[in-house]
Amino acid sequence: MSGPAGLTIVRDVAGLRTQVKAWRAAGRTIALVPTMGALHRGHIQLMETARAKADAVIATIFVNPTQFGPNEDFGAYPRQEGKDASLLTTAGVDALFAPSPSEMYPAGFATKVSVAGLTDVLCGPFRPGHFEGVATVVTKLLLQALPDVALFGEKDFQQLAVIKRFTADLDIPVKIIGVPTVREADGLAMSSRNAYLSAEERAIAPMLFAAISKAAAAISKGAEPAAAVSEAKDAVLRAGFRSVDYIEARRSDTLSVLKKGEDGGRVFAAAYLGRARLIDNVAVG
Ligand code: AMP
């Protein structure tokens, strides 16, 4: 099935495999960019990076029910496939794979991909089952498309770490590429969930990035990580965030707690502003 000029829209796994087979026969390399839609410039950056890495780019849009908790925003999550298809066409994406929930999870579906350790920290305890949902759906998408490379944003840094872990552990023959976070001019990390913010909340939102950037700068100058992140937490609450799930300094590779003076750190945050749960992270140094 064809979408806007140049973009092929595929709804089922068989159609995806037919498309991939044709590209393989023509000797083309393939990049996969999984998303949940409601596309913004952060997603488009992934598409453009994908085009530079492979001959053909497949974007996927699937609001994956299994990665949302019972009290989370699955129902409210923004859906705008027509607009997304135009954005993907403009970005030079070749195919959009947009399956239905029943195509991804037919009756009787019973398998989960679970990653230990990396999912026990940060967002893990606050979103039980979330990373299993992500790991399972991304495993399926990778095996359905069998791309050469797949691209994911550093905005979801823990997700990227989890995906790198299970692709290595399960010998899935794909190179996982992380793409730096794309931000608004005031520093706010672009996110489909920013659409939930009122004008007043939108004005407060950049304080999260400002606070973790300040903490990261202090840590790189030798501050005690625990003190720096505690100060960031206070600043975010003072700015008007409703609650903070966590602001923590951890190692980028293992996500273990960062010790004072240790290299390779990152400050990670998740906080509620109104009904929006915003996450962000920045490198130390
Ligand atoms: P989502 O649609 O929110 O599931 O995101 C799909 C992909 O886009 C994930 O790999 C995200 O990490 C990535 N992404 C989302 N927001 C940004 C951003 N602001 N900058 C870079 N990548 C992003």
Structure tokens at 170: 């399960």
CA of 27 to the centre of ligand 1 (A): 29
Q: Which of 46, 66, 84 to mutate to test the pocket of ligand 1 (most atoms within 8 A of CB)?
A: 46
Does 128 share its domain with 211? no
Closest approach atom of ligand 1 to CA 46: 22
Phi, psi of 189 (to 5 degrees): -65, 130
Q: Which of 14, 138, 139, 130 has its CA nearest to residue 74?
A: 130
- Per-residue DSSP letter, 259: P
Does 58 share its domain with 118? yes
Query: Structural domain of residue 241, as residue ranges?
Result: 192-280
Structure tokens at 211: 């606070």
DSSP-assigned beta bridge partners for residue 251? 265
Does 137 share its domain with 209? no
Let me know if residue 154 belongs to a domain.
Answer: yes
Instruction: Answer yes or no: 130 catalytic.
Output: no
Closest approach atom of ligand 1 to CA 191: 16
Does 201 share its domain with 157? no
Instruction: List the alpha helices (DSSP H) in the chain.
Output: 13-25, 41-53, 81-90, 101-104, 123-126, 130-145, 157-169, 199-204, 206-220, 225-239
CA of 144 to the centre of ligand 1 (A): 21
Give the Cβ contact number of residue 285 at 10 Å: 11
Say what the pTM is. Answer: 0.97
Total domain count for the chain?
2
CA of 109 to the centre of ligand 1 (A): 27
Q: Choosing from 19, 43, 156, 196, which is the catalytic residue?
A: 43
Could you read off the pLDDT tens digit of each residue along the chain, which spans 285 residues? 555 668 999 999 999 999 999 999 999 999 999 999 999 999 999 999 999 999 999 999 999 999 999 999 999 999 999 999 999 999 999 999 999 999 999 999 999 999 999 999 999 999 999 999 999 999 999 999 999 999 999 999 999 999 999 999 999 999 999 999 999 999 999 999 999 999 999 999 999 999 999 999 999 999 999 999 999 999 999 999 999 999 999 999 999 999 999 999 999 999 999 999 999 999 999
Does 170 share its domain with 246? no
Let me know if residue 184 belongs to a domain.
Answer: no
CA of 176 to the centre of ligand 1 (A): 14
Structure tokens at 33: 């960019």
Helix orientation angle between 13-25 and 130-145, rounded to the nearest 10 degrees: 50
Let me know if residue 275 belongs to a domain.
Answer: yes
- Per-residue DSSP letter, 65: G
Distance (Å, rounded) from C-alpha 256 to C-alpha 210?
Answer: 23
CATH number at residue 246: 3.30.1300.10
Closest approach atom of ligand 1 to CA 39: 2
- Supply the residue whose CA is at minimum distance from atom 14 of ligand 1: 153
Q: Which of 143, 144, 145, 150 has its CA nearest to residue 171?
A: 143
